[in-house]
Amino acid sequence: MFCPKLLDLQSYLDGELSPRHQRAIEKHLKQCSHCRAQVDLWHNSVQLMQRLIPPVEVPRVPSIAKRWAYSGQKRVIAAVAVLIISVGLSAFWMFNGLNYQENSQDPRETELMNEYLILHMEESRTHGGSNV
């Protein structure tokens, strides 16, 4: 008598075989006490394991729901923060850019301009004086 492979016996126990194959092994088990003992042993182990599942209390759902809601709030807060920072940075760059433009004149040019203004004022004062 040829015995089925152990993995096939296991598949039989787990109901994973085709109906034809399942029937063939069933037939074999009726004649072979060795294979029957093996299948019984596995069957008892599985039952024992299922009986020994530790009883534990399942945590409540609200904690997860709260976390999810909190993460939504966090996303809104992050978006607002990004907006504020972008506006702030833009304002800062604009302000600095203007200052830069004001400060970017050549000092010598400014000096010449000042000298020109002084001369112009003196000249206009002189001409203005003569007019009076």
Partner 1 sequence: MVEPLSTDMIEKAKRGDPRAIEELVARFQKPLFYYAVHYTGNPSEAEDITQEVLFKIIRALPSFKGQASISTWMYRIMTNACIDFKRKKVLSKTVSFNSGMDEEAFVYDPADTQPLPDEQYEKLELHDWLRRALQQLSPEHRTTIILHDLHGFKYQEIAEITGSSLGTVKSRLFYARQMLRKILEPSINRGDF
Name the site residues for partner 1 (rule: CB under 8 A): 6-7, 10-11, 14, 16, 41-42, 45-46, 48-59, 61, 63-65, 67-68, 71
Give whichever of 1 and 49 is closer to partner 1, judged by the CB atom.
Answer: 49
Shortest approach of partner 1 to residue 30 CB, angstroms?
23
Q: Nearer Cβ to partner 1, position 66 or 125?
A: 66
Q: What is the closest distance, in whole angstroms, from the C-beta atom of residue 75 to partner 1 in the complex?
A: 11
Alpha-carbon Rg for the chain, nearest whole angstrom, is: 47
Least gap, CB of 24 to partner 1 (angstroms)? 18
Minimum distance of partner 1 from residue 93's CB (angstroms) = 35
In the complex, least distance from residue 21 CB atom to partner 1, rounded to whole angstroms: 14
HEC states along the chain?
CCCCCHHHHHHHHCCCCCHHHHHHHHHHHHHCHHHHHHHHHHHHHHHHHHHCCCCCCCCCCHHHHHHHHHHHHHHHHHHHHHHHHHHHHHHHHHHHHHHHHHHCCCHHHHHHHHHHHHHHHHHHHHHHHHHC
Shorter beta-carbon distance to partner 1: residue 47 or 124: 47
Our CB check for partner 1 shows the closer of 54 and 107 to be 54
CB neighbourhood size of 63 (10 A): 9
The residue among 16 and 111 lying less far from partner 1, judged by its C-beta, is 16
Distance CA 19, CA 3 (A): 18
